[in-house]
Amino acid sequence: MRYAHEVGKVRAAEEALMARLPEGTLMQRAAAGLAAVCVRLLPGVYGAEVVLLVGGGDNGGDALYAGARLARRGARVVAVQAGSRIHEGGLAALRAAGGRLESDPEVLDKADLIVDGLTGIGGTGALREPYAGLAARASESTGIVVACDVPSGVDAGSGQVEGVAVQADVTVTFGTHKPGLLIDPGASRCGVVELVDIGLGADLPDPDVVAPWPADIRPPEPGAESDKYRRGVVGILAGSEEFTGAAVLSTGGAVHGGAGMVRFASVPHAVEVVRQRWPEAVTAVVEPGPKVVEQVGRVQAWVVGPGLGTGAEAEALLESVLGTDLPVLVDADGLTVLARRRDLLRREAPTVLTPHAGELSRLIGAERELIEARRLEYVRRAAAELSATVLLKGSTTLIAEEARPVRVNPTGTPRLATAGTGDVLSGLIGALLAGGMAAIDAAAAGAYLHGLAARIASAGPFGSEGESPISAYDVVSALPQAFRSLG
């Protein structure tokens, strides 16, 4: 896992460590790590044109000391000061190594490498001048842009971006990741994130946000004694006379998601379409009411909502399923029903909700624009208010449970912004729930595999993403390869 900590916790850990070290040691560690990354990025250090954008905080000091190290190796290093303050010790070190202070921002246009030390992890809100102008000019330059700890203009705690922000090629962060490096829109400004160990480990508390590596995704594996029931039976209530595609796609996500058996139930037309496309699914035509779960048969988890409709019949189906003591995933139309029947969430068994920002706005009564701008804040709020595992879809998918670190999915891709992919995700997570995974683990694994399948489906002949557009059914078809890629 990649672990991220909120700014206040990082500050407290830094203070605790600095109290045990000689003065300036921590900054020198950061500067050494920053300089080492810069050396790797440059074709050659000697004679390279390096520009440091320097604010008055510690990141400005990190940049100056790193610049001094580069200057001692023959780079031509220039620092551009923003604001009235500058780190005096760092400036003295730079000048002693042969670097200089420059006031003309045109030096950015000729730079081979730019180090962004304008603001630090404590920066919030929109950048003001001259910071904003320097950030914009750096982003437009042809040189490699390396951000110190977090790109200036990105809120380190949330990933919010208000106004101009540096577009970095590489972000060198110190001690631990910060949430804003993992969550869009801030994450999209970071480029490649390099973590430099400065010794904070023992002083850091539990993380606030985590992002998995492939090795962290462990879906259920069938054993020698497995049969279709032990592998997990997932029940799906989806589709309608009008919306049969959601039924087919959610069932496909479950079939290719590792379920031992899929029991699909709906109206006659949806059942017939699913039976034709997925003959391995056990299907049933059901009538809404308290006995619906008995009509479907025994399952280990439920998926309810995709294409179901939002009227009284859909509400009756949802109420029946949420009245069980089994894990339930609610998506799409089911979420619309829940927005008016939040009382149905008063249950002990695990509940997974998979809204996009618009659906979440209806569930918790918040403006969609605020949710999209402050995704971390609102996914936490939703998990607490709704007593559920909440998977908030978007350019960065977040998964939250109350009093747990928020999971960030790193495999998301814009190629998933097409109709039906959410239905696939629902069936996939439902299969993982039926296989025995805990709700937050199933949701995180499902999001990871879903994004990975989309990347595989859209890959060109050389494995690069984005060579071709994809459909939701392409995602279903790529799920087996996504599972295989986990190793």
- CATH number of the domain bearing residue 278: 3.40.1190.20
CA-to-CA separations, 217 to 1, 147, 205, 446, 459, in angstroms, rounded:
10, 30, 23, 9, 21
pLDDT of residue 226: 66
Residues 6+ apart with CB under 8 A from 342: 363, 386
Is 124 part of any known ligand binding site? yes
> Is the per-residue pLDDT at 305 higher than 70?
yes
> Is the per-residue pLDDT at 42 higher than 80?
yes
pLDDT of residue 467: 66
pLDDT of residue 462: 43
Same domain flag for 423 and 451:
yes
> Is the per-residue pLDDT at 193 higher than 90?
yes
Is 58 part of any known ligand binding site? yes
Is 125 part of any known ligand binding site? yes
Is 153 part of any known ligand binding site? no
Mean pLDDT (whole number) for 262-283: 97
Residue 193, helix vs strand vs coil:
strand
Residue 262, helix vs strand vs coil:
strand
Is 56 part of any known ligand binding site? no
User: How many domains are there within the chain?
Assistant: 2
Same domain flag for 162 and 268:
no
pLDDT of residue 461: 47
Same domain flag for 261 and 289:
yes
Same domain flag for 173 and 302:
no
Tens of pLDDT, residue by residue over 391-450, are 999 989 999 999 999 999 999 999 999 999 999 999 999 999 999 999 999 999 999 999
Is 307 part of any known ligand binding site? yes
3-state class percentages of the chain: helix first, strand second, coil last, to nearest 5: 45, 15, 40
Q: DSSP class of residue 450? A: H
> Is the per-residue pLDDT at 463 higher than 50?
no
Q: How many residues does the chain have?
A: 487
> Is residue 39 classed exposed, middle or buried when 0-12, 13-18 and 19+ CB atoms within 10 A define those classes?
middle
Is 116 part of any known ligand binding site? yes
Task: Supply the range of the domain harboring residue 83.
Answer: 2-211
Angle between helices 333-340 and 312-322 (to 10 degrees): 90
Is 12 part of any known ligand binding site? no
Domain end call among 191, 211, 231: 211
The CATH number of whichever domain residue 36 belongs to comes to 3.40.50.10260
Is 413 part of any known ligand binding site? no
Same domain flag for 204 and 268:
no
Q: How many CA atoms lie within 13 A of 60 on its CB side?
A: 24
Is 436 part of any known ligand binding site? no
> Is the per-residue pLDDT at 199 higher than 50?
yes
Is 411 part of any known ligand binding site? no
Same domain flag for 107 and 220:
no
Is 325 part of any known ligand binding site? no
pTM of the model: 0.93
Tens of pLDDT, residue by residue over 328-357, are 999 999 999 999 999 999 999 999 999 999
Q: Is the peptide bond before 480 cis (omega within 30 degrees of 0)?
A: no
pLDDT of residue 151: 98
Same domain flag for 176 and 41:
yes
Domain end call among 195, 211, 227: 211
> Is the per-residue pLDDT at 366 higher than 90?
yes
> Is the per-residue pLDDT at 23 higher than 60?
yes
Q: String of b and e for 285-308 (b: at least 16 CB within 10 Å)?
A: ebebeeebbeebeebbbbbbbbbb
Same domain flag for 423 and 381:
yes
Same domain flag for 275 and 323:
yes
Is 396 part of any known ligand binding site? yes
Same domain flag for 245 and 196:
no
Is 120 part of any known ligand binding site? yes
Domain end call among 177, 211, 245: 211
> Is the per-residue pLDDT at 132 higher than 90?
yes
Same domain flag for 154 and 132:
yes
Residue 321, helix vs strand vs coil:
helix
pLDDT of residue 154: 97
Same domain flag for 348 and 471:
yes
pLDDT of residue 195: 98
145: Cα separation from own chain's centroid: 23
Q: Compute the distance between CA of residue 66 and CA of residue 275 in angstroms, rounded to an integer.
A: 64
Mean pLDDT (whole number) for 70-90: 96
Pairing relationship of beta strands 389-392 and 398-400 according to DSSP bridges: antiparallel
Q: How many CA atoms lie within 13 A of 449 on its CB side?
A: 35
Is 184 part of any known ligand binding site? no
